[in-house]
Each structure stands twice: as C-alpha cells, then as structure tokens.
Amino acid sequence: MSWCCAHFPNMPSAQTVAALPTYYLSHGGGPWPWMETGNAYDVLDASLKALRNELKERPRAVLVVTAHWEEPVFTFSSGAQPGMIYDYYNFPPHTYEITYPAPGLPSLAEQAAALLADGGVASATDATRGFDHGTFSLMQAIWPEAQMPIVQMSIRADYDPAAHVEAGRLLAPLREEGVVIIGSGLSFHNLRALGPVGRDVSKAFDGWLQESLIGMNGENRVKRLLEWEHAPAARAVHPREDHLMPLHVALGAAEEETAALSYHEDAFMGAIAASSFRFGPPPT
C-alpha cells in the first residue's frame, strides 16, 4: 500500500491526482507575523494569504525546504509534534515565547528520505528537529490555525546547486500525493546591504531571476540556476547562498513546469527588490 493511500484513505490514487505546484517563497525577517511592523510586510502577507486561496482544497501536508537548517546530507524532520527553534537575535522578548503548534508527519519524512536514498542521494531523518523561523513565520502567515502537517527538509551544507535540483527531482512524486513543496528563503539575503545600499544590486539580480525562471523552461532554466553565480550582482545579493538553495529544490521538483510570480515588490524593507515564484499551475 502506498504512503498516500495508507495515510489518506479517501484520497484517489496518485495516478489520478493532479500534481500540486511548488513554490519558492520569501519568509521575511525574523518572527514578523508576531510583531508590530507597520505596513512593511503588507505585500508579502497578502501574497501568502493569496497562496492559500489558490490551493483551494487543503493539501494533505507541506514539505518546507528551509534555508535555516543545514546538514551534511539532506535531512527531514520526523517528530510528530515539533518544538520551536528561535533562530534570531535582538528581537522583542515575547518573540522567544511564541508557538506554532502544527503537527509533524513522520511517515512523510520517512518517505521523502527514502525517495532520495532510492535515487542515490544520501538522506537522513531527525526526530528532534523543531520548527525554525524559516518555517513557522511563513506558515503562520499562510495557515495561522497551525493545523497543517509539516515536514521540514534541510538544505545541504555544501550548497551544491546541482545536488539541490536533483533532490527536488526525486521528491517530485510527492506532488501527486497531496504534498505542497515550499522552498523557504529570500531572493535577496545580504543583511549588511539592507536599505538603500542594496537597491541597485537587488534589482539587477531580481531582474535576472525573473528572466531565468519565467522567461525560460526546462534545461535552459536549470542551467541558468546551476550557474547562478554568473548572474548580475550575484555575490552582492547572496554572500552565502543558503537562502537561494531552497529555490533549486522547488525548481527541480517542477522542472518542466511554467513559472509565475507569486510575490514581488521593489521596496521590501524600504529599498530591496524581492520576489517569490510558483512552479506549475494552481489547482483548478
């Protein structure tokens, strides 16, 4: 019996279920949904609420590839009730007491790890891993009820773009089993260049990213992402590519699908161009 049918007996077989889209989403800064931020996050927040609406029927689970978890091999959180990891600094005291009590889904973690292993990619599970802010800030905006089962996936510490694309390819069958794959990062991630100093470089890189993802398909698009360091202002925007690698997984899982913007603004945090993307059409 398949994982899908064993755990979701009312769901049709994988052969009759349309594949859900994948996403590369900005998770914003720190625990922003729990903070007074004025209107700084209004555009991002609206885009995340729109994402929930476009998915129509509630997915069975979400696999979040989080930029805030690095391991030597791709690792999946397998606890039934993950705790919290407050992986940010100098935020208000109450943000170190917030909770996002969504359940985990150990069976999905095991299946995802097996899909990678069967494809020759080393993988592991971790029953102790809690939700980091790359997951809970994003999910609080989308599913504030915290009822959606979530499994987190680490990025790989070597930041090998080809390995992350391949991991996405191997995880693609989950899309036909009611699982939404979300790469959680940020298309601009240079904390020292937030504000006016980052305006021009962020726009240069963001333009290249949109051209590469929306303007291309298949092998050409993957090739561009594998060679992302050649993009305009690449290292000025991503001194470390931890927040870019979740994109490679989301793209690999929907390699032949068309892409669309799911969020964009030219003045995020006052000056930064930032974008999120959807791969594949929303459910009809």
| Each residue's pLDDT tens digit, 28-59 | 989 999 999 888 999 999 999 999 999 988 89
Report how far residue 270's alpha carbon sits from residue 194's, in angstroms, rounded to the nearest whole number: 8
In a domain, 4, yes or no: no
In a domain, 67, yes or no: yes
The mean pLDDT of 76-80, rounded to a whole number, is 98
The pLDDT, as a whole number, for residue 173 is 98
Instruction: Return the SS3 of 117.
Output: helix
Give 101-128 pLDDT, tens digit per residue. Answer: 999 999 999 999 999 999 999 999 999 9
Alpha helix segments (H runs only) across the chain:
3-7, 42-54, 106-118, 133-142, 161-171, 199-214, 218-226, 234-237, 245-252
Alpha helix segments (H runs only) across 159-198:
161-171
In a domain, 193, yes or no: yes
Closest by Cα among 9, 30, 155 to 91: 30
The pLDDT, as a whole number, for residue 209 is 97
Name the percent of the chain lying above pLDDT 90: 82
In a domain, 29, yes or no: yes
In a domain, 184, yes or no: yes
The pLDDT, as a whole number, for residue 253 is 98
With a cut of 90, say whether residue 227 has pLDDT above it: yes
Could you report how far apart the first and last alpha carbons of the chain are, in Å?
28
Give the strands of the sheet with 74-77, arranged side by side.
123-126, 74-77, 150-156, 61-71, 179-185, 22-26, 272-279, 259-268
Is the overall model pTM greater than 0.95, yes or no? Answer: no
Do the beta carbons of residue 254 and residue 279 sit within 8 Å? yes
Do the beta carbons of residue 100 and residue 136 sit within 8 Å? yes
Domain that holds residue 96: 16-279
In a domain, 6, yes or no: no
The pLDDT, as a whole number, for residue 1 is 22
- Return the CATH number at 50: 3.40.830.10
The continuous run of DSSP H or E covering 276 comes out as: strand 272-279
In a domain, 2, yes or no: no
The pLDDT, as a whole number, for residue 16 is 44
Residue 27 CB-half CA count within 13 A: 24
Name the percent of the chain lying above pLDDT 70: 94
With a cut of 90, say whether residue 270 has pLDDT above it: no
Please provide the average confidence, as pLDDT, over all residues in the chain. Answer: 91
The pLDDT, as a whole number, for residue 189 is 87
3-state helix, strand, coil in the chain (%, to 5): 40, 20, 40
Give 162-210 pLDDT, tens digit per residue. Answer: 999 999 999 999 999 999 999 999 998 887 767 787 889 999 999 999 9
Give 138-156 pLDDT, tens digit per residue. Answer: 999 999 999 999 999 999 9
The token pair at 56 is: 């129509």
In a domain, 210, yes or no: yes
Residue 30 zone, left/alpha/beta (φ > 0; ψ -120 to 50; rest): left
Question: What's the number of domains the chain is made of?
Answer: 1
